[in-house]
C-alpha cells in the first residue's frame, strides 16, 4: 500500500468510527476515531517530507565530517557533543553508522571526525545540517566559570556509487601512511596502517585510520575522495547548486546556521528558517527532525517560486 492509499484508508476508518460513536454515543469509539485522524495527519506529514527529498542523491547514504573551530578544548568538546547528537539521531531512525576517521583532542573532545550514516534518505535529511554550529555556555573547562562561545563546522556529502563517473587519475594522488592515533589500548596500531590521500590538482585531503588493515583504510579513503571530487565537479558545473555543501566559510562569528544557547537562557535557533525551541536537551539527544523538516520545507518553498 502506497502513502496515498494508506492515508485514504486511515481517513475512511476515522469516518466510520466517528459515525459509530455518534450512533452509539460511545466515547471510547470516538477516541479511536481521533487516533485514526492523528495517524492520517502524521502520514500526510511524512509523505510531504518524502516529496521534498527529490534531489538526485537524496536517497543516498551520507558522509559527515565535524571540525571544531578556534577555542581549544571547549570547541573540541562542542564537536564531540555534535557527534553524539548525530549518532543518537541515526540510532533513533534505525540507521547504521561507521566512524571512518577519528582524531581525539588532547584533553577532551575531538579534533576531527568523519563517519558514514547508512539508511534510506540519510543524505537527504542530513544535508540540512551542513554549516557552522554555534554553542554558548558556561564552560566546564574554565575555572572562573565564564561564558564561552564555541563553533564547529559540519560538512555533509552523499556517498557516491562506484559507477558514477569521477575524474580521478592515480598519478594525481599522493598517498601517505602513518600510525593510527587514539586514546590507547585497542585503538592504537603498531604498524603504519592509517592512510592519508592528497589530490594534488585540487588540494583535497582525506584520511582513514579506523580499520586495522592499510588496504581497507585506503579503500575507505578513496571512497571519501570520490565523494569530495564529485561534489566539487557539480559545484564547478553549476555554482548555484548548494545541495552538497555550503560555501566553505570561517568557523566563527556571523557564519553560523544554528545557535545553541545554554546560558544565560536556553534556546536553540536555526538562523536559516527561524525555527527555534527552548527544550534543548532532547535536541542534543538526537531529536533533530523538527529542525531538518523546517529546512526542507524552506528549500521546497524557495524551489517552487
Flag the least confident range among 138-142, 181-185, 278-282.
181-185
Please state the domain extents for the chain: 3-52, 62-160+242-303, 170-237
Grid cell at residue 36: 485514526
Report pLDDT for 34: 73
CATH code of the domain occupying 62-160+242-303: 3.30.70.1660
Report, as an integer, the average pLDDT of 251-261. 79
Q: What is the pLDDT of residue 237?
A: 58
The predicted structure's pLDDT at residue 183: 47
Percent of the chain with pLDDT over 90: 44
- Out of 49-58, 66-75, 236-245, pick the least confident: 236-245
Mean pLDDT of 33-49: 73
Q: Give the three cell numbers for residue 105.
A: 583532542
Query: Which residues lie closer than 8 Å to 107 by C-beta, 6 or more apart?
Result: 73, 76, 141
Give the closest residue to 82 by CA, choosing from 149, 137, 151, 183. Answer: 151
What average pLDDT score do residues 60-86 get? Answer: 94
Least-confidence region, from 26-40, 79-93, 177-191: 177-191
Answer CATH for 170-237 from 3.40.250.10, 3.30.160.20, 3.40.50.720, 3.20.20.70: 3.30.160.20
Phi-psi category of residue 83: left, alpha or beta, with phi > 0 → left and psi -120 to 50 → alpha: alpha
* Structure-model confidence comparison of residues 27 and 142, the more confident one: 142
Residue 103, pLDDT > 70, answer yes
- Would you say residue 290 has pLDDT above 90? yes
pLDDT confidence of residue 247: 43
**Taking 60 as the threshold, does the pLDDT of residue 303 lie above it?**
no
User: Residue 270 pLDDT > 70, yes or no?
Assistant: yes
Range scoring the smallest mean pLDDT among 42-51, 169-178, 206-215? 42-51
Percent of the chain residues past pLDDT 70, beyond the cut? 80
Check residues 187 and 152 and name the one with the higher pLDDT: 152
**In CATH terms, are 62-160+242-303 and 170-237 the same topology?**
no
- Dump pLDDT digits (tens) for 117-148: 999 999 999 999 999 999 999 999 888 889 99
Q: What is the mean pLDDT of residues 181-189?
A: 48
Averaged pLDDT score across all residues of the chain? 83
* 223-254 confidence digits (pLDDT tens): 899 888 887 877 775 554 344 444 444 555 55
Amino acid at each position: 500500500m502506497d502513502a496515498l492509499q494508506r492515508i485514504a484508508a486511515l481517513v475512511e476508518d476515522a469516518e466510520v468510527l466517528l459515525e459509530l460513536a455518534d450512533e452509539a454515543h460511545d466515547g471510547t469509539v470516538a477516541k479511536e476515531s481521533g487516533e485514526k485522524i492523528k495517524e492520517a495527519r502524521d502520514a500526510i506529514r511524512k509523505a510531504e517530507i518524502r516529496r521534498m527529498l527529490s534531489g538526485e542523491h537524496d536517497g543516498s547514504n551520507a558522509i559527515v565530517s565535524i571540525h571544531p573551530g578556534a577555542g581549544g578544548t571547549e570547541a573540541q568538546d562542542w564537536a564531540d557533543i555534535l557527534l553524539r547528537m548525530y549518532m543518537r539521531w541515526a540510532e533513533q531512525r534505525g540507521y547504521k553508522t561507521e566512524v571512518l576517521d577519528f582524531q581525539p583532542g588532547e584533553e577532551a573532545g575531538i579534533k576531527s571526525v568523519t563517519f558514514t550514516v547508512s539508511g534510506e534518505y540519510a543524505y537527504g535529511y542530513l544535508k540540512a545540517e551542513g554549516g557552522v554550529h554555534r554553542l554558548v555556555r558556561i564552560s566546564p573547562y574554565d575555572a572562573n566559570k565564564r561564558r564561552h562561545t564555541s563553533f564547529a563546522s559540519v560538512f555533509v556529502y552523499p556517498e557516491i556509487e562506484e559507477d558514477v563517473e569521477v575524474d580521478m587519475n592515480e598519478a594525481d594522488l599522493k598517498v601517505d601512511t602513518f600510525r593510527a592515533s587514539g586514546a590507547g589500548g585497542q585503538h592504537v596500531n603498531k604498524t603504519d596502517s592509517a592512510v592519508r590521500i592528497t589530490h594534488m590538482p585540487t588540494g583535497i585531503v582525506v584520511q582513514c585510520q579506523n580499520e586495522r588493515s592499510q588496504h581497507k583504510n585506503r579503500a575507505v579513503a578513496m571512497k571519501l575522495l570520490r565523494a569530495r571530487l564529485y561534489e566539487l565537479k557539480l559545484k564547478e558545473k553549476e555554482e548555484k547548486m548548494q545541495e552538497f555543501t555550503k560555501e566553505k566559510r570561517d568557523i566563527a562569528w556571523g557564519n553560523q546556521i544554528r545557535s545553541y544557547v545554554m546560558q544565560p537562557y536556553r534556546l536553540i535557533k536555526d538562523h536559516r528558517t527561524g525555527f527555534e525551541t527552548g527544550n534543548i536537551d532532547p535536541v542534543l539527544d538526537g531529536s533533530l527532525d523538527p529542525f531538518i523538516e523546517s529546512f526542507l520545507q524552506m528549500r521546497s518553498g524557495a524551489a517552487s517560486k
